[in-house]
Structure 1
Amino acid sequence: MKQTFLRYCIYLCMCSYDAFSKEIFTVEHMKHYLTEENPYIYTAVGQQYIDAARIGSAQGGFDTKLSVAYDKKEYPISTGEFSDISLSKPTENGTEFIVGYRKAEGVQEYNNIKTGSEGELRLGVKVPVFSVLNDMNERKYTLDSARINATRSAFESQNNLRNLYTHIVTSYYQLLYYSEVLKLEKSLLHKATKRNRFIEKRVRTGDLSDIAILESKQQIINREQRVLRTKNSYTQALQTFLKYLNLSKKEFDLRYVLPPLKMLKKEKIIFHNVISQALKQRPDLKALESQQSKLDLDTAYNSVSAYPELNLFAYGVHDIHYGEGIKVGLQFDIPLERRSYKGKMIEIQKGMNQLEEEKNRLLLDLKTNLSNLMYALDIVNQNIELGDKETKIVESLEEAENKKYEVGSSDLFQINQREIRTLEVKKKQLEYHLNALVIQQEIKKEMGEYMTL
């Protein structure tokens, strides 16, 4: 007997040590698992890395280019040989510089080039006049577009994190809710099993009939079923939450315990502060600003199309045998109808109008949502205060009913009704606390708060 008692004490000590060795899992703990190694996180932000990489691709338009050409022909009445090696370097304003060496022997009908036997050095420049004057050209447009898209993509990633983080935190609150409900259902079952022992004693003494045992066992079975249903809801909530953390249930159970739902902090939120912070922080609003920048860039690039395409060429050569020379050229090209320019201009203007209306819609939704959420939070907080009072009342009524039952002036049906009513009131109170936390998180989401990696 003493050994059995000693083993029991050791077991309790080990269980207590195991419980104290675990951490209470909080919202802060989630951030340890919500990293870019987490598939949910990476899929939310991965596009920004693709768009950032495209900047490097666009910068390739300004790479120095090495060009090599060789041509040899032997026709019945003419022969010729031509070789050329050159480096070309475009600049951001559109000007392109060329330096190289070439040698031509014989007849070169296609370009009328003739050099001495040692060839010639060549230095040239190509100037797209209106591109330089407007500080805009295709290469610069491609690079600036890539930069704007990367910026917008970064804001969109922040917006994805904002929505994802709120979803994960909400699932955490729901998990705590089901954990607390499961405790209530287990407590309800414990009351029935404890009372069953009391009933068995009274049946043995003849104070109660045998039917009381049957009623008691039926009540226990009913409450065991309630526990199983709630346990299923809790397990599903746990699995749903853990999938976002990319964490196994076994590892979670070894390391953490869940806190009571009611101990989580309730925050006081001021409506005007919420609106001002939302306007500063919302990443989707900042993404719209990036779209505006892209339309401004499109306008600048399209404005070049309003002018003719005018390119000036100037080449200086130094023939090692014959000396220096120069070549100046001009290329002029203009579409007469200019439909591309006019059509693009209308397209950009329509895009700006749509963007402005989209921004107005977002602002209207933002203010309306925040107003509704603030009102809902106020109502929930009032219900929590009323729920505390109601909980005390039903607990007192249940206690009184139990005393009546012990002296034989009540029955099992009345006891069951009182206990179920107490559980439902406490469950409703938990729902109010859950709603308060969820609404607070929704307000934070509307304010533009998001998880930083």
Structure 2
Amino acid sequence: MTKTFLRYLIIIFIFSHDAFSKEIFTVDHLKHYLTEENPYIYTAVGKQYIDAARIQSAQGGFDTKLSLEYDKKEYPISTGQFSDISFSKPTENGTEFIVGYRNAEGIQEYNNIKTGSEGELRVGVNVPVFSLLNGMNERKYTLDAAKINATQSTYESQNNLRNLYAHIVTSYYQLLYYNEVLNLEKRLLHKATKRKKFIEKRVRSGDLSDVAILESKQQIINREQRVLRTKNSYTQALQIFLKYLNMPQKEFDLKYVLPSLKMLKKEKIIFQDVISQALKSRPDLKALESQRSKLDLDTAYNSVSAYPKLNLFAYGVHDIKYGEGIKVGLQFDIPLERRSYKGKMIEIQKGITQLEEEKDRLLLELKTNLKNLMYSLDIFNQNIDLGYKETKIVESLEEVENKKYEVGSSDLFQINQREIGTLEVKRKQLEYYLNALMIQQAIKKEMGEFIIL
């Protein structure tokens, strides 16, 4: 066994070990990198966390409040001192409870309040009558609106992920395409390099003239240029893809190899199944439902404006020195024209109409897009089947031309034309695969597929 042969064995072992130690990067690997630590992902979903935090802010409207008040005056003809500490607790139905202690001495400007020297305890309730009857008030509206907005933001984030994921998968398919084309160009160059040795041997034997070597060198240069152009396209596609993964190229090259475009399976898709899945899963359609919920909430809140503002309140007091007492009252307020209520109702009704039309438009576009995509997918699948037949034909023609060249009945120009023709047919076949896969992904996008974080 010669040293040269051993060297070749070592080189083959090194490259084989390197290839087998790497993983084939598939679409399933995307989930490892498309996480919230990825800036593209967080940008797509960040708003939902902001709106979710606003729910807690809205819940603050139901917080128990501690109130402290102290006032002391010494006027020329009057003196007085007032202190009050109380807790108030609003409830979801609009009723507010108050409990506290106060002490008033001297002449006061506080509703003629006067207590014994030890002060008084008080317990009270404030009831907004029509808000209570309608089950709606400002605090409840603010909280419910925050919850609906958070739900809508979640659907909008999912829709952002739907569009982003489809874009990333498409860039992955484009990367595989350029990788395959680059391999085709490299094989084309290898053929010219290998042929050059055959030509040199024929020139030395006198079967060919020296000009054949020049033609061979020119062909090699031309094919090296083709490789460089394709490598540039591949490198750009790789950089675009890796930016979405937020991964350096060196790390990717060390860990992964790319699969063949033809290894990716074609999926059988049924139109009715696609429509049914889209209606259940599309986040943008769910976001419209959430907007409708918000308009229904606006309707409920605005309905309170149709009634007068009527607040009933009652306070019971226990003066530590003088005993018990009670105070009751009401507050009545009504706008006579009610233009705010009527205007808001028209605004809400117009909003509902616009929402329904928007939903109809989305459904119409969805069905039209899916029909067009599925028709295009069928055409590309037919082209793929025809491409197999065409590839076999051009490969046979290229093989025949090579045999003719070897016996001297063809020339380098004819060989070049056959090999370029074979490459173009194979490249066209790859384009059919690429387009079929991209259409499959577009259908999945229309169906509402997105990354589950």
Q: TM-score, normalised by structure 2?
A: 0.99
SS across alignment from 2:136: coil
Q: CA deviation at 1:25?
A: 0.6
SS across alignment from 2:101: strand
Question: 1:356: which partner in 2?
Answer: 356
Q: CA deviation at 1:109?
A: 2.6
SS across alignment from 1:87: strand
For 1:260, give the aligned amino acid: S
Matching of residues 13-412 of structure 1 within 5 Å: 13-412=13-412
Identity of aligned residues (%): 85
Deviation larger for 291-300 or 200-209: 200-209
Q: CA deviation at 1:9?
A: 2.1
SS across alignment from 1:305: helix
SS across alignment from 1:71: strand
Deviation larger for 213-222 or 77-86: 213-222
**1: CA distance, partners of 2:447 / 2:112:** 70
For structure 2, the 5+ residue unaligned runs are: none
SS across alignment from 2:32: coil
Q: CA deviation at 1:16?
A: 0.9
Q: CA deviation at 1:4?
A: 4.6
**1: CA distance, partners of 2:5 / 2:226:** 33
**2: CA distance, partners of 1:447 / 1:373:** 12
**1: CA distance, partners of 2:422 / 2:118:** 105
Q: CA deviation at 1:107?
A: 0.4
Task: Report the aligned-residue RMSD.
Answer: 0.9
CA shift digits 1:351-376 (9 cap, x unpaired): 11100000000000000000000000
Question: 1:432: which partner in 2?
Answer: 432
SS across alignment from 1:97: strand
For structure 1, the 5+ residue unaligned runs are: none
**2: CA distance, partners of 1:7 / 1:116:** 109
CA shift digits 1:135-191 (9 cap, x unpaired): 000000000000000001111111111111110111111000000000000000001
Q: CA deviation at 1:8?
A: 3.5
Q: CA deviation at 1:338?
A: 1.3
**2: CA distance, partners of 1:404 / 1:21:** 43
**2: CA distance, partners of 1:102 / 1:316:** 13
Q: CA deviation at 1:10?
A: 2.0
SS across alignment from 1:31: helix
**2: CA distance, partners of 1:240 / 1:124:** 67
CA shift digits 1:358-397 (9 cap, x unpaired): 0000000000000000000000000000000000000001
Deviation larger for 403-412 or 97-106: 403-412
**2: CA distance, partners of 1:419 / 1:214:** 19
For 1:308, give the aligned amino acid: P
CA shift digits 1:57-100 (9 cap, x unpaired): 00000000000000000001100000000000000010000000
For 1:345, give the aligned amino acid: M
Aligned length: 453
**2: CA distance, partners of 1:110 / 1:271:** 75
For 1:109, give the aligned amino acid: E
CA shift digits 1:171-229 (9 cap, x unpaired): 11100000000000000000111111111111111111111111111111110000000
**2: CA distance, partners of 1:263 / 1:227:** 23
For 2:357, give the aligned amino acid: E
List structure 1 runs of 4+ shifted beyond 4 angstroms.
Answer: none
Q: CA deviation at 1:339?
A: 1.3
For 1:232, give the aligned amino acid: N
